[in-house]
A and B are shown apart, each in its own frame.
Chain A
Amino acid sequence: MNNLYIAPTASSPEIDLRFDARHFLIKGEAYPENAALFWGEVINSIRRFAEEDASVETLTVDVVLTYFNSSSTKMLFSFFDILNEKAAGDTPVVLNWYHDEEDDTIYEFGQELCEDFPDLTFHDHALQG
């Protein structure tokens, strides 16, 4: 399956889904005009990959978001829901959740993901400054 790359804009994050390397990156600020449209493409790709992929090698997701709006929040939940199902099978999924050490909102959202998706191996990374 083809990798998916979406370059960052002022209001949408960089998306780098490297299916061949089993590595995914989401980085930047997320307040796209139409969250359902923007995240829809990302979620559909990951869903198709999850269905087709037969390997049990670890999948790694690095999330380095500095801001996401309310409608993106919901979309992120759907994104991790798919990966959690994958992890509930035989494929380990590591989620590296990066946030500024002072950013309680993003830290707490990471904790929500951790609670709701217990099959993900969750690593919290607090960044300085």
Chain B
Amino acid sequence: MNYAVLTQRDNTNLHWRIFCECAQDRNVIFYYEGYFSQTIIAAVSDAVKMRTEQVGAANTTRRKLFSSFIEMTQNIIHYSVDAYVTQDNRQFNNEVRHGSICISTQAGRFYLHCANPVNAAVAHQLQQKLEHLRSLTIDDIKREYKRTLRSETPDDSKGAGLGLLTVARDASAPLEFEFTPIENSDHMLFYLKATI
């Protein structure tokens, strides 16, 4: 591949083809990047349900994918630092936030990837929570899930403190994550991957 051609402005078709081939090579079955709101999540949910059915995922797998999809996208709405702001302040909506979600598949396994920018404090909390979850066996995770279900909701949680535990419970391998510094910003890009 001669990458020099990519810099030419009249090669938009080629750019598009490379983008599609890249998605195909990585077996991407679903990708959305942009603002998330509750309405968008509900609409995109429909697309995810149809797509996972179309590619022939087993019912149990589809349910787990859907569950993790909801937890991840609602986390974006709650914790992404990139909130949508319109020109009109009265229209400011703190519950519309930016992030991305991707579903890919390989050798019968499905992978959910999500990413969104977070502030340093949230990054620190997430890192601690996720490192802890990675140290647990699936039986430990189930026990912790039951314990958290019956305990008071932590102050720093906008849900029930059960979101990541739910994703970990449905995953067939430890959750993978990464924090990447964002240039000219104190924020970090949070990336999370679940294997279903």
- Hey, which bits of chain A sit against chain B, CB under 8 A? 9-11, 31-33, 35, 67, 69-71, 73-75, 77, 100, 102-105, 112, 116
Contact size class for B?
20 to 34
A11-B38, A31-B74, A112-B149 known; A70 vs B95 contact (CB < 8 Å): no
A residues less than 8 Å from B166 (CB atoms): 69-70, 73
B125 at the binding interface (Cβ < 8 Å): no
CB <8 Å contact, B162 and A70: yes
CB <8 Å contact, B67 and A102: no
B59 at the binding interface (Cβ < 8 Å): yes
CB <8 Å contact, A102 and B162: no
Closest to B165 in A: A70
B173 at the binding interface (Cβ < 8 Å): no
CB <8 Å contact, A73 and B149: yes
Top-9 shortest CB links A-B: A70-B162, A10-B42, A33-B38, A74-B160, A71-B159, A71-B160, A70-B166, A11-B42, A70-B163
| Complex-state Cα separation, A35 to B166, whole angstroms | 16
Given contacts A33-B74, A71-B163, 8 further A-B contacts (CB under 8 A): A33-B38, A35-B160, A67-B63, A69-B71, A70-B159, A70-B160, A71-B159, A74-B149
Chosen A-B contacts, 10 in total, with CB atoms closer than 8 Å, are A10-B43, A11-B41, A11-B45, A32-B38, A67-B63, A67-B70, A69-B74, A70-B71, A74-B153, A74-B162
